[in-house]
Amino acid sequence: MVVTKMTVDGNEFFLDAEQDVDGAKEQVVEAVQHGGGLVDVKVAGHATVSVLVSQQMPVTFEQIVAEEEESQDAFGDDFWSWADVAL
């Protein structure tokens, strides 16, 4: 599974699997070209976060390959998945 982490001025956001990453990148570039602006992204847990970006603020996107483990708790249920993690 590939997980995308967006870092804005040192703050990390793990993006939801449904988030259009290329679209978010385009929104960041557009905001910077206009002197700054808000970019809405869907983060893990399905919450939407509005991030203010500007020309002086570093924004990075990192793709992380996460192995899906067969983790189970004492009751036999899956312990967690990236889609369920709200950061």
Domain boundaries, the chain: 2-84
Q: Looking at residue 79, what is its pLDDT? A: 47
The pTM assigned to this predicted structure is 0.72
> Is the distance from CB of 85 to CB of 64 less than 8 angstroms?
no
Q: How many whole angstroms separate alpha carbon 22 and alpha carbon 20?
A: 6
Q: What is the DSSP string of 11-23?
A: EEEEBPTTS-HHH
pLDDT bin (cut points 50, 70, 90) of residue 1 is: confident
Give per-residue pLDDT as tens, 39-62.
999 999 889 999 999 999 999 999
Strands 48-53 and 37-42: antiparallel
Neighbours of 10 (CB within 10 A): 7
